A and B are shown apart, each in its own frame.
Chain A
């Protein structure tokens, strides 16, 4: 499985934008970039995914570098509820239904 690298922790203030980086230098052409997050005492939840183009949804935006070796999850206006561990995960579209391979993730703290 292609590996991702994320900072262990980040901190931001409420109502400010947050940029969460992920490096995936060994990404293959068929790997999609997925983000999940895990709120305290809950199971992970899907945030967003993309292949090459930047993506937006109601939760976040995903900016993908042109060479696809890195990506950034953007929370446009963080709230206290966004405090969670964020996981960047690569999923190969050629494979069948497959397990998610989680790394350590980035623990995001939001200051009021």
Chain B
């Protein structure tokens, strides 16, 4: 499978909202409601922020939200805080018990 497509970078000022897109195909994002999002800080492992397109695990701030339309999923971070600065990756189930990931988006808090 080809990697999911994400913008290389997004930025916003504290308190603003930013949205990161994740575009796949009808073989992954478009078919399955198993899209997840991860936050990764330098030298650390990815941390699950959103699962099943919209579900926030316990402990993840409600400033993080997910959605999907067609072959594109999105992660929105509202009320940006300095601590949100990190790399963000999307992931979709791609059938046959495999996953496909995005190339990553660097979120900068100005």
The yes or no verdict on A and B being binding partners is: no
B-contacting residues of A (Cβ < 8 Å)? Answer: none
